[in-house]
Structure 1
Amino acid sequence: MDGRTTARRPLAQLLVDSVAPSAARGLAPLESISLELLADAAQDHRVLPAVAKHVSGRPDCPEAWRAPLRRARDEQVVRHLGVLAELSRLGAVLDGADVPWVVGKGPTAAALWPAPDMREYYDLDLYVPRAMFRRAVGALEDGGCTGEDRNWPLMATSRRAEYAMRGPLGVHLDLHWDVAVPRGTRRTYRTDPDAMIGRRRAVDLGGGRTAPTFDPVDTVLVLAFHAAQCGAGRLMWLVDVARAVEACGAARAGIGARARAMRMEAPVGLVLDRAARVLGDLGETGLRRRGALGAATAALDARHGFPDLPGDRHRAGRLYSSARPRAWGTAAALVRDAVADRRIERAIRRGVPGADEKALRHDVPDPAARADYFRFVDSGAG
Structure 2
Amino acid sequence: MGARPTTVRRPLAQILLDSVAPEDRPGPPPAPLDDVRLELLADAAQDHRVLPAVAKHVAARPDCPEPWRGPLRRARDEQVVRHLSALAELAALGAALDRAGVPWAVAKGPAAAALWPAPDMREYYDLDMYVPREAFRAAVETLEDAGCTGVDRNWPLMVRERRAEYAMRGPLGVHLDLHWDIAVPHGLRRRFRTDPGAMIGRRRPVDLGGGRHVPTFDAVDSVLVLAFHAAQAGAGRLLWLVDVAGAVAACDGVRREVGGRAREMRLEAPVALVVDRAARVLGGPAREALHDTGLRPPRVLRGAAAALDRRHGFPDLPGDRHRGGRLYAGARPGAWGTATTLVADAVRDRRIERALRSGRPDAGEKALRLDVPDARAREDYLRFVDSGAG
Task: Give me the TM-score of the superposition, normalised by structure 2.
Answer: 0.96
Structure 1 residue 8 displacement after superposition: 1.2
Once residues 349 and 311 of structure 1 are traced to their aligned partners in structure 2, the CA distance between those partners, rounded to angstroms, is: 19
**Alignment partner of 1:236 is 2:239:** yes
For 1:365, which of 373, 382, 386 is the aligned residue?
373
- 2:84 aligned partner: 81
Letter in 1 for 2:26: A
Residue deviations 1:240-287 (CA, integer Å, cap 9, x gap): 000100001021111100000000000000000100011111421111
Letter in 1 for 2:345: D
On the 8 A contact 1:2/1:277 being kept in 2, the answer is no
Once residues 354 and 323 of structure 1 are traced to their aligned partners in structure 2, the CA distance between those partners, rounded to angstroms, is: 27
**Alignment partner of 1:324 is 2:332:** yes
**Alignment partner of 1:156 is 2:159:** yes
Question: What aligned pairs does 1:180-191 form with structure 2 within 5 A after superposition?
Answer: 180-191=183-194
Equivalent residue of 2:323, what SS? Answer: coil
Structure 1 residue 354 displacement after superposition: 1.0
On the 8 A contact 1:104/1:214 being kept in 2, the answer is yes
On the 8 A contact 2:182/2:194 being kept in 1, the answer is yes
Equivalent residue of 1:169, what SS? Answer: coil
On the 8 A contact 2:4/2:25 being kept in 1, the answer is no
Equivalent residue of 1:125, what SS? Answer: strand
**Alignment partner of 1:118 is 2:110:** no
On the 8 A contact 1:246/1:282 being kept in 2, the answer is no
Letter in 2 for 1:16: L
Structure 1 residue 6 displacement after superposition: 4.3
Letter in 2 for 1:164: A
- 1:176 aligned partner: 179
Question: What aligned pairs does 1:7-156 form with structure 2 within 5 A after superposition?
Answer: 7-20=8-21, 21-22=23-24, 24-25=26-27, 26-156=29-159
Structure 1 residue 357 displacement after superposition: 2.8
Equivalent residue of 1:358, what SS? Answer: helix
- 2:360 aligned partner: 352
Cα distance change of structure 1 residues 305 and 2 upon mapping to structure 2, 3 Å threshold: farther
Residue deviations 1:326-379 (CA, integer Å, cap 9, x gap): 111111111111111111122222332311330000000111111110110000
Once residues 280 and 199 of structure 2 are traced to their aligned partners in structure 1, the CA distance between those partners, rounded to angstroms, is: 29
Cα distance change of structure 1 residues 142 and 73 upon mapping to structure 2, 3 Å threshold: same
Cα distance change of structure 1 residues 5 and 86 upon mapping to structure 2, 3 Å threshold: farther
Once residues 159 and 5 of structure 1 are traced to their aligned partners in structure 2, the CA distance between those partners, rounded to angstroms, is: 45
Equivalent residue of 1:117, what SS? Answer: helix
Cα distance change of structure 1 residues 112 and 23 upon mapping to structure 2, 3 Å threshold: closer
Identify which range, 355-364 or 75-84, moves more after superposition: 355-364
Structure 1 residue 3 displacement after superposition: 4.4
Letter in 1 for 2:8: A
Once residues 2 and 130 of structure 1 are traced to their aligned partners in structure 2, the CA distance between those partners, rounded to angstroms, is: 44
Once residues 25 and 187 of structure 2 are traced to their aligned partners in structure 1, the CA distance between those partners, rounded to angstroms, is: 45
Structure 2: runs of 5 or more not aligned: none
Residue deviations 1:50-83 (CA, integer Å, cap 9, x gap): 0000000010000010000000000000000000
Task: Give me the TM-score of the superposition, normalised by structure 1.
Answer: 0.98
Structure 1 residue 207 displacement after superposition: 1.3
Once residues 68 and 288 of structure 2 are traced to their aligned partners in structure 1, the CA distance between those partners, rounded to angstroms, is: 34
For 1:380, which of 365, 369, 388 is the aligned residue?
388
Equivalent residue of 1:165, what SS? Answer: strand
Cα distance change of structure 1 residues 295 and 48 upon mapping to structure 2, 3 Å threshold: same
Once residues 358 and 318 of structure 2 are traced to their aligned partners in structure 1, the CA distance between those partners, rounded to angstroms, is: 27
Tell me the matched-pair count.
Answer: 382
Once residues 186 and 290 of structure 1 are traced to their aligned partners in structure 2, the CA distance between those partners, rounded to angstroms, is: 20
- 1:226 aligned partner: 229
On the 8 A contact 2:7/2:310 being kept in 1, the answer is no
Structure 1 residue 23 displacement after superposition: 6.1
For 1:290, which of 298, 302, 307 is the aligned residue?
298
Structure 1 residue 5 displacement after superposition: 3.8
Cα distance change of structure 1 residues 351 and 289 upon mapping to structure 2, 3 Å threshold: closer
